[in-house]
Structure 1
Amino acid sequence: MVSATNLDGDYSFHGKNTPLDQFEGVKIHLYRLGTEQRELDALKSSACADQGSPSLLDTIILSQWENKSREGQLAYDVTACKLKVIEGERDFVIQMNDKWNSFLLNEYGKFSHPFGCSKLSSTKNCGELLLCIEEGEKNEPEVVPLTTPPNGGVMLIANAYPVEYGHIFLVPNPTNRLSPFWDKKMFGLITKIASEVNSAAFRVFFDGTSIVPNHTDFQACYFASPLPVESASTVPVYDMKTRSGVRVYETVDYPLKALVFCSNNAKALVNVVSEACLTLRENNTAHSLMISNNGRNVFLFPQVKSLVTGCYLSAWECCGYFVYHAKVDFDRACEAEISSRMASFSPEDGAFEDLKDLCCAIADDLDTCACAE
């Protein structure tokens, strides 16, 4: 997909023997978002995605991730794993990977002190640090090489057991969280990061399920093609035609019920989705998210626990992307089986109608407040 790139001059990133690979006192490259990007966010359109050269942040992330891959920090080469599209109405994507499992994924996702190597459960995790991102005060983004990560930033950490190319954790500093589960400020920063990357292949995921309890750790991967849920038909649920411009849709003819929030106004989008997620959490409703389209679309998947396994779908499984451990299961996979499995996690119609009403009410309240300002 994208080859590793050495960045010259002020943005030089070296592949080996950097202070990042020493385990005493974390020093890492810091990327500060530009204020101009935030001001222009509402003016962006889908048409501008992926045109021209890759963004600076996109190049840094992929360069650092591929460096970690070459250095042996990753357990396997995920690009060598076999992929197959299940032909049918939904074109589910499946991967054959006998080295991946969700338990290993969760082990590497739980960083209670991501900004201090001495406090991590394993020093191996320090070798997987890529960079830190925070809000900046200048118009243009800037890179500060090899510095101590700030309290208000998000640490990008390579997933040693990747599900797809460029798989990373985005871990907020726990000392700056407003909530052990969800922090609207951090969700806003994650959305801005997705916008700054400016790549149609970049998707960010969040699992608000018991699989990873009390964690606001996000994950991101690069996917070469649209995920099946992104191609699903939708019908409008709410269209805010006033100040904030948030629109809400629901998927149709897709086995797992989902809502899609869309807006060019990043702040309004973050506010609506955050309030919905906090309410779901208060009601003990498991859910997963995907951020796509450079931060302008958010997919929300409410879930019920499987009566068979006692688990939930991961966010990428909600989107129609599945990893198989056994070749026999990979070879036998079919659309009917996958659809049936997904549908078993979908909430009842009544509960989903309540969620739609809730999201419309939240959007109305926030828009009323915005218009009153």
Structure 2
Amino acid sequence: MVSAAKVEGECLFLSKNSPPDQSEGVKTYLYHFGAEHGNNDLKSVASPEQGPSLLDTILLSQWDNFSWKGHMNYDVTACELKVIEGGRNFVGQLNNKWNSFSLKEYGRFFESFRSLKPNRTKSYEGLLLCIAQGDKDRPEVAPSVSPPKDGLLLIANAYPVEYGHIFLVPSAINQLSCYWDKMMFILATKVASEVNNAAFRVSFDSGTSVESDHLFFQACYFANPLPVESASTVAVYDGKATSDIIVSEMLEYPLKALVFTSNNLKTLVFLFPQVKNLVTGCFLSAWECSGYFVYHTKSEFDSASETEISKRMASASLQDGAFEDLKHLCCSIANDLVN
């Protein structure tokens, strides 16, 4: 899960061209990061004085338009929410229409990209925006009839867990089955930075994909901080002498987790290692790891308790020995990155 703080910068919106005709291909836009976001630089191009960033504005506009056209299976903003009693402030949502297997209906979309020809792709209403690295000084947006060769597709989730729920899917032209390269992770992190909205959260669930041949990020807008973000931590690796990378361990949280911070890049990343639930055969989703749970029935929603949630999270947590090994591995990797 990734969030980013705001720093100064500029952006450019190219609006001189009208959107392409639907017969030409996908009626969408291609967003290019500016040179300020080149290489591994994660600085945002917006500032508090400028208001919402360009990417934030486009993304929410496209998502709202998708919803306005009636493509959502329900209005997630109308779902009942509550803070569950207890000191951790876990959040419960009542949503009897949410479907954790919603990606199955996107199978035909993924399949259509397997044999994609350059400069041509089929129309897909859920494709909100394409993302790629650019070479201009500032970000730019232009109409596009083909996905980028090496980029991300931002796809609306018709079964949202929260407002603005999207999938960030690697452009399948050069996708290698279920493998992601470093650039895809960098692009997803840049999206979080460039959206530059404190409510925006990006997550990656490596064990919960129902499309085994495709790995992807997800993102939502959460109105309030997630419970995990207020949990206490203790540093297990502090690279102040050689870098600004800090690896910390969560304290008194039911699910063992690590936190990676970088003051220079203004980024925050949570790592939730898990073991598969032997009863359900499933893993917790990133938002469940963060303390946000969806309930399908009123009785489940009303009876939700901090004790029940803590037990569910603890059942997915690594054993002490395995977690210690993971900590040593992460600290070793962090040390290698700066040497």
Classify the TM-score, shorter chain.
0.7 to 0.9
- Residue 356 of structure 1: aligned partner: 327
Q: What's the offset of the Cα at 1:35?
A: 1.1
Q: 1:220 and 1:24, CA in 2 relative to 1: closer, same or farther beyond 3 A? A: same
Which residue does 1:301 correspond to in 2? 272
Aligned with 1:332 (options 287, 300, 303): 303
Shift of the alpha carbon at 1:101? 1.8
Letter in 1 for 2:34: G
Tell me the secondary structure at the aligned position of residue 176 of structure 1.
Answer: coil
Which is richer in helix? 1
1:32-47 mapped onto 2 (5 Å cutoff): 32-38=32-38, 41=41
Aligned in 2, Cα 1:358/1:240: closer, same or farther, shift over 3 Å? Answer: same
Question: In 2, Cα distance between the equivalents of 1:25 and 1:117?
Answer: 15
Which of 178, 181, 188 in structure 1 is aligned with 2:179? Answer: 181
Aligned partners of 2:92 and 2:295 also within 8 Å: yes
Please state how far the C-alpha of 1:153 moved relative to its aligned partner: 1.5
How far apart in 2 are the matches of 1:110 and 1:362?
39
Separation in structure 1 between the aligned mates of residue 279 and residue 128 of structure 2, nearest angstrom: 38
Distance 1:151 1:55, change over 3 A: same
Name the Cα RMSD after superposition: 3.0
Give me the whole-angstrom Cα distance separating, in 2, the residues matched to 1:110 and 1:318.
30
Asked if residue 247 in structure 1 is aligned to residue 258 in structure 2, the reply is no
Matches within 5 A, 1:2-21: 10-11=14-15
The equivalences for 1:1-373 within 5 A come to 10-11=14-15, 22=22, 25-38=25-38, 41=41, 52-105=50-103, 107-108=105-106, 111-113=109-111, 126-177=124-175, 180-209=178-207, 211-212=209-210, 213-264=212-263, 296-368=267-339
TM-fit CA distance, 1:242: 3.9
Deviations 1:121-176 (A, max 9, x none): xx998111101010010110001123422111211111011000000011111333
Question: Unaligned 5+ residue runs, structure 1?
Answer: 1-8, 267-292, 369-373
CA shift in 2, pair 1:192/1:215, >3 Å: same
Distance 1:358 1:364 in 2: 10
Name the TM-score, length of structure 2 as normaliser.
0.86
Contact 1:227–1:320 (CA under 8 A) maintained in structure 2: yes
Give the 3 Å change call, closer, same or farther, for CA 110–169 of structure 1 in structure 2: farther
Q: Tell me which moved more, 25-34 or 94-103.
A: 25-34
Residue equivalent to 1:286: none
Higher RCO (CA-CA < 8 Å; seq separation 6+): 2
Q: How many residues align?
A: 323
* Preserved contact between residue 42 and residue 190 of structure 2 (Cα < 8 Å): no
Aligned counterparts of 2:95 and 2:194: Cα–Cα separation in 1? 31
Cα distance in 1 for residues equivalent to 2:269 and 2:56: 20
Cα–Cα, structure 1 residues 32 and 211, in superposed 2: closer, same or farther, change >3 Å? closer
Q: Deviations over 1:62-100 (max 9, x none)?
A: 000000000011111100011111121110111100001
Change (3 A) 1:354 1:214: farther
From the superposition, tell whether residues 13 and 155 of structure 1 become closer, same or farther in structure 2 (CA, over 3 Å): farther
Distance across 2 between alignment mates of 1:129 and 1:223 = 22
Q: Distance in 1 between matches of 2:122 and 2:223?
A: 29
- Note closer, same or farther for the CA distance 1:321–1:72 as it changes in structure 2 (3 Å cut): same
Provide, for residues 33-87 of structure 1, a one-character-per-residue CA deviation record: whole Å limited to 9, x for no partner. Answer: 011144895677xxx9756400000000000000000001111110001111112
Question: C-alpha displacement at 1:24, in angstroms?
Answer: 6.7
Q: Is the 8 A contact 2:114 2:172 kept in 1?
A: no
CA–CA distance in 2 between the matches of 1:364 and 1:313? 29
Unaligned runs of 5+ residues in structure 2 are: 1-12
Partners of 2:17 and 2:142 within 8 A in 1: no
SS of equivalent residue, structure 2 residue 329: helix
C-alpha distance in 1 between matches for 2:123 and 2:306? 37
